[in-house]
Amino acid sequence: MREITLSQAVNEAIAEEMRRDETVFLMGEDVAEAGTPFKVLSGLVEEFGTQRVIDTPIAEPGFVGLAVGAAMTGARPIVDLMFGDFLYLVMDQLCNQAAKQHYMSGGKLTVPMVLRTNLGATRRSAAQHSQSLQALVAHIPGLKVAMPSSAYEAKGLMKTAIRDNNPVVIFEDKLMYQDKAPVPEEEFLIPFGEANVKREGSDITFIATSSMVQVAEKAAEMLAADGISAEVIDPRTIVPLDEATLIESVKKTSRAIVIDEGHQSYGVTSEIASRLNEKAFYHLDAPVLRMGAMDVPVPFSPALEDITVPTPEGVAENARKLCAGDMIHAA
Amino acid sequence: MQRDVTMPQLGMAQDAGKIVSWLKAPGDAVAKGDALFEVETDKATMEVEAQAAGFLTGVSASEGEDVPVGAVIARISDSAEDDTPAQTAAAPAAEAPADDLPDGHSVTMPQLGMAQDTGLLVGWLKSPGDAVAATDVLFEVETDKSTMEVEAGRDGYLAATLAQAGEEVPVGGPVAVISEAAPANPVARSVAKAAAAPAAEPVPTRPQPTPEPSRTAQPAAPQPAGGRILASPKARRLALEQGLDLARLAKAGYPQPYHVRDLDTLRSLPAAASAAEVGTASRRLVAEVPEDGLPGFTAWAAGVHGLSDADAILAALAACSMPVPGPVSVERQGQTKTYALPAGRGLSDAMETDDAPALILRDLRGSRLTSVEMGGEATPALTLTPKGDGLTLTLECAPSEMDATDAIQLLSDFAGRVEQPLRHLL
């Protein structure tokens, strides 16, 4: 199978959907002429023109509000939010308006909108351009949240997001745009709420999102050398969450580490760990461990920044302890 | 706090017990469980234990004295100086309750266990005014261990019932009056009313709900120092499903917390180790027979009937004495043989078996031991020790293994058979 970059995969997904459905359009800062700072959308304006690929002013609340209105009135906008950190600017448009219109209109309105943005530290972008804020939107009922972990997921999830009649926030890891993965040439979609078992194992389950799937897979490789068999599962969407697959896996392995690049406290890892504790308690032979980013603003210093996020070595070390029956953080 | 020491009721038809000897002197410090005095009834001699720690005071009955069941004969006090004599208790058993009750003989609440203060009257099987025979069951009593029927003990009429179903009656307290003549006005009242001063108007009393048993019959499960055992939820669940006790890992010194893999270790632990769980509290009953009739009997059996296995005969005599006959082991000089006596068969039919014994007969007749106190064992044990021309018979068992009545019956019957084995054949 051919291999393409995550960037190309997103580009293909949007292009295919814009060709398929003329109500789909794209807007955001630098999406047309520049093709975004990450060159993800290069070439789209040439094919679809400036009527459907729209450069906006630097005014996130304004253009996200525009997109919500367009979605309510029949269009299917894809809004590009250049950095995930800018979510704070569009909280009202996203959480008060987009997330609640369907409910508050008694089902008469839908908001088929995609908010494309990113996450991920270690790009030396400092505290205001390095955050992973998926927990912030996953908390709000009415929003779906997708977190592709490779080019394959990026394409399949983006196409599903564009066709969904609800607002979807899709987080791409800004460090993975040039990562290649096999992606079929023929059309495919990845349904929401279906986790992907990336690697089968019997001793411990790693539940990892986005780029943390790679971290988990590397940790699993390291552990295999020690005779520890780790299963790696990518939920792919955290809302909706494929609980059944996660619980099945934990029932098999009795141990789990949940890995996500958001801040660890009150985050995605906490939510998933809690559900496992509630629903698989009597199958657990060790506490479910969370591994998220340190609860600090992401440092600009490369030496410091690199130690704030989960690493394969860190995951493997914790996994060894759990499998050995050592107590971690335990009272 | 003071605790009264009373004369226990060791048999159903027993009104009084004879104090054979005091094993503690007035003023002595006693620990809970220390033997205070020995009581003799028809056949069994029994040691009565202190139910609390303290000092023995207020001793009001002397050796050789016959004391009514339920009478207070001493006290366990907080200080040795407490010299107020224990009331030579208006032995409730001895005299019919005063006031307006019909004349007659009192039926009292029996003491069915050593640590029992009260009995719950479950229900009456006779009504006031009914004619009763000595062996008629009058009422049922429940303790924390068992429910038991209490007989009238003599022929007559049920002239008064002094407690209602559902009420707690103190051990030795009056429950009924049996009169010789048909009572003119049979009385039915409750403990609550008896406790209150004779009220002008009769107050109907409702049966009280069954109170929580104050003691549990089983000793508490052993807990490791440090309390709760740390184990993963899965290990805990599997242990529960497979009937494994994580506490044994802790006792064996394996470090916590326990995980699923530790269950393999637990499974491989030697099975035994339950001795500590078997009756820490134990019953010990002692009987004496003036003459050992066994040697003559076994010689006769061997000579006349060709029964050469004396152990089989001994085991069979014991099995016949058991309330529920079961396999009996005979232990002598380190050798053990277990015999089963098929139901309804004679002494000659005892056969060796590999089944676990229900009773161990420890034959120390050839030894110089005169008294044993082995403590809790997994199986009730009856030990034979020499005493002059006769024998001392000591029965030890956990309360959970045999209730008081059964223990008394076993020892009494066996003592009779040992003294005159031929009587068994009658």
Residue B144 has pLDDT above 80, yes or no: no
| B228 Cα to chain A: minimum distance (Å) | 13
> CA-to-CA distance for A267 and B291, rounded, in angstroms?
86
Mind telling me the catalytic residues of A?
Answer: 60, 129
Residue B57 inside a domain? The answer is yes
- What the block records as the tokens of B339 is 């015999």
Residue B201 inside a domain? The answer is no
Residue B146 has pLDDT above 80, yes or no: no
> CA-to-CA distance for B338 and B355, rounded, in angstroms?
8
User: Which pLDDT tens digit goes with each residue over B252-308?
Assistant: 888 888 999 999 999 888 765 444 444 455 788 888 888 888 888 888 888 888 888
Same domain? B413 vs B316: yes
Residue B90 inside a domain? The answer is no
Residue B275 inside a domain? The answer is no
Choose among A162, A180, A7, A174: nearest CA to A71.
A162
Q: Tell me the chain B residues in contact with residue A330 when contact means C-beta distances shorter than 8 Å.
A: 257
Same domain? B192 vs B264: no
Q: How many domains does one find in chain B? A: 4
Domain holding B380, by residue range, is 283-424
What pLDDT sits at residue B18? 85
Task: Enter the pTM of the model.
Answer: 0.54
**CATH at residue B304:** 3.30.559.10
Sorting pLDDT into bands at 50, 70 and 90, what band is B72?
confident
Selected residues 243-302 of chain A with any CB under 8 Å from a CB in chain B? 254, 281-286
Residue B96 inside a domain? The answer is no
DSSP SS3 for B320: helix
Same domain? B260 vs B363: no
Mean pLDDT calculated for residue range B397-417: 85
CA atoms within 13 A on the CB side of A94: 27
Interface contact flag, B234 A327, Cβ < 8 Å: no
User: Which pLDDT tens digit goes with each residue over B176-197?
Assistant: 888 888 888 888 887 766 554 4
For B193, the enclosing helix (H) or strand (E) is helix B191-195
What pLDDT sits at residue B274? 47
Same domain? B189 vs B233: no
Residue A48 has pLDDT above 90, yes or no: yes
Same domain? B257 vs B387: no
Q: Order of strands, edge to edge, in the sheet holding B168-170?
A: B147-151, B137-142, B118-124, B168-170
Interface contact flag, A286 B259, Cβ < 8 Å: yes
Same domain? B297 vs B415: yes
- What the block records as the tokens of B82 is 């407490």
Nearest CA in chain A to B241: A282
> CA-to-CA distance for B154 and B134, rounded, in angstroms?
4
Examine the predicted complex and report whether its ipTM is higher than 0.95.
Answer: no
User: Which pLDDT tens digit goes with each residue over A220-260?
Assistant: 999 999 999 999 999 999 999 999 999 999 999 999 999 99
Same domain? B247 vs B287: no
Average pLDDT of chain A is 96
Same domain? B53 vs B138: no
Give residue B27's identity as a one-letter amino acid code.
Answer: G
A-B Cβ pairs (cutoff 8 Å, strict): 28
Nearest CA in chain B to A324: B259
Taking the Cβ of residue A91 and every Cβ of chain B, the question of whether any pair is shorter than 8 Å is answered with: no
Same domain? B413 vs B304: yes
Same domain? B314 vs B412: yes
What pLDDT sits at residue B14? 75
Nearest CA in chain A to B240: A282
From B180, B196, B212, give the residue that closes a domain.
B196
Q: Which of B237, B261, B262 sits opposite A282 (nearest CB)?
A: B237
What pLDDT sits at residue B199? 40
Residue B84 inside a domain? The answer is no
Residue B213 has pLDDT above 60, yes or no: no
Residue B236 inside a domain? The answer is yes
User: Which pLDDT tens digit goes with each residue over B359-386?
Assistant: 888 888 888 888 887 776 778 888 998 8
Mean pLDDT calculated for residue range A275-301: 96
Same domain? B367 vs B262: no
Q: Tell me the chain B residues in contact with residue A283 when contact means C-beta distances shorter than 8 Å.
A: 233-234, 237
Same domain? B314 vs B416: yes
Residue B55 inside a domain? The answer is yes
Average pLDDT of chain B is 78
Taking the Cβ of residue A325 and every Cβ of chain B, the question of whether any pair is shorter than 8 Å is answered with: yes
**CATH at residue B131:** 2.40.50.100
- Give residue ranges of B with CB < 8 Å to any A CB: 232-237, 257, 259-262
